[in-house]
Structure 1
Amino acid sequence: MPSSQQEAPAERTVVPFEPGALPGPLRRLGRHEVLERWQSVDRSGHGARIVAVTGDSADWTGAALVTARPHTAYLKIVDAVGDVPAAVAAVVDHARDRGLAQVKWEGWTARPEDAAAAGFTALRPPLAGGTQDEPGPASGYVRWLSAGAEVTEPPYYRQSTHFSCGAVTALVAQAHAGLLPSRSLDRRAELTLWRDATNFPSCEPVGLGVAVRRAWPSSSVAVHLDVDRPVLLDHFPETEQEWRAHLQGMSRADAARVGVPIVQQPLSSAGIRNAVERRERVLLLISLAGMQGFEVPHWVLCHGTVPGAVVIEDPWAGTATGDTWVDAHLLPVSDASLDTMSAVPPDQFHGAVLIGGEATG
């Protein structure tokens, strides 16, 4: 066809998503149950936007609701309506323009054949956790935007308590390394490892490192902790801090006994990237303030790298904001954002556990 007669490309429009004032074109495109789902939670903290495409009439022919955790390097399509292929292509172009590493697509209404045709790969569904009902869609899809980006997918397991993130990240790390069958990653395994690592109720870096070494004696383990004092105790009354601090002292003695070195320096994003590229697994203590808006220390697994970002597994998702396992799984975070997240208040200390191959001690 001569170029003068080629169909003009669809125009892309990006507007804020305002649940109480949906644009008329969107109401005409979206089914009631889809639009109802979009408005069922407060997505404002995740930068909710409508990416729409227009046809010859300048009216919307397709649209997608996109969100993302703040300070991350991806966009997530919640649903696409109308001309789905055109809407998804517009989201991918929008993500490329922003220099992002990835686009995900929740499987509420996405058909596998449409996802595949748009260059997306199906995500492994989450393992059944302690509650047996993973909030969110039953399926999800991912498309990496960097040329040659290859990240091996670990199993996804959602922590079943508010305090067992450290144990879950360690278990997922070992399952990803082939040292634990994925079918063994269940609530019993989660709470068993947590019980050995806990400082009641959270897991501090040294205790977690010792517990990992005890559970997998053949794996080398090193702890990075840049302060020489007990941590994660500031929110407890002074009388509650004393015995927990004593337990952390015992963990340090255990670390010396079982051969877990404590490196008193922070692990930067460059160090994390180098460790992951050496096929080590990095359990990283972060603050959730940037991604979730509240100041809580939290363990994540760093297991992959792509240009400009480290790929993490987060065992927790904030469903009240529309955050699901699709967000938390294979989650790219820019190097700079990861450096910021890994400085844990109140005094910006850093903690990490590195798990490698065969131990030499």
Structure 2
Amino acid sequence: MKNIYDLTLDELKLWMKENKESEFRSKQVIEWLYKDIKNFDDMKNLPKALKEKLNSNFTMELPKVEHEYTSRLDGTKKLLLALQDGNLIECVIMKYNHGNSICVSTQVGCRMGCKFCASTIDGRVRDLTAGEILLQVIVGQKVLGERISNIVLMGSGEPFDNYDNVIKFLKIVNADYGLNIGQRHITLSTCGIVPKIIDFADEDMQITLAISLHSTTDDRRKEIMPIANKYSIKEILDACKYYIDKTGRRVSFEYSLVKEVNDSLEDAKSLGKLLKGILCHVNLIPINEIKENSYKKTDSEEVKIFAKILKEYGVETTVRREMGSDINAACGQLRRSYMETQK
């Protein structure tokens, strides 16, 4: 049965019309969805006949919190959520001075094959619907007991491999009838699917685009990111420049530092030369070590030197603060370890 959270307001209006109900009822239903109710029967201002139709056609079931982990280091929460079909996904809630952020998944698993990521090891199971992405935020707010004001689409899955559902989610979560989270408070991360970067630019949204770059040469990028066999770094940068021209927004480049793989002084200089003059920001990410590969984290002092070199090239750079390291907060780690214990 379809989850009603998958519907936009316009889609619900159309359903009302097709079911011979007044259009204004759709707004009433939508308003109830963001209150603390558990079923359609709790929607007090709806007629009984409409509630019966809603019960017959939709569910408003939330994902079940299978496990909740809270970091003793920084308060980061990681939720393992069970969907209606039994599949498991993860989301991570991070508390900052500027507000609460949530990192959501867009697919069950992932088929991009990036070597340093746990979520792609068993491949992609299926795409998440717009409602299933949205419900991670709603459940996160209920668990936290506070509003979430920032969203990053950096969890399991490649957002542009689930393009239509992701765009629909972005429109719902931004809508004043939805969670009303501003587009400038949302970041979408992609491994670099060039045609979708261009499509996304044409959507004319004010969402921050983040590109998982992780290397300055195509040959080395191919070793750690299979998508590099299809799209070159030049093609990705050209698409990013198109995005910048269309939206006026700077692009964020994510660069996961792997010890003795892509973290040398020459790598830093090469990255500085590559991005110099582009309206962008680099987010350096010391990798989360996982048992499925031998990659090691770059030493903190070497990370600082890498960042210093980039800044000397005029490239704005930050080092991502490591959060939730004691609760397997990296993409796919919790789902994978839980599934192994259930075998």
Q: Which structure: greater helix fraction? A: 2
* TM range, smaller chain: 0.3 to 0.5
Q: Normalising by the residue count of structure 2, what TM-score does the alignment of the two structures yield?
A: 0.32
Q: Normalising by the residue count of structure 1, what TM-score does the alignment of the two structures yield?
A: 0.31
Find the structure with the greater CA-based Rg: 1
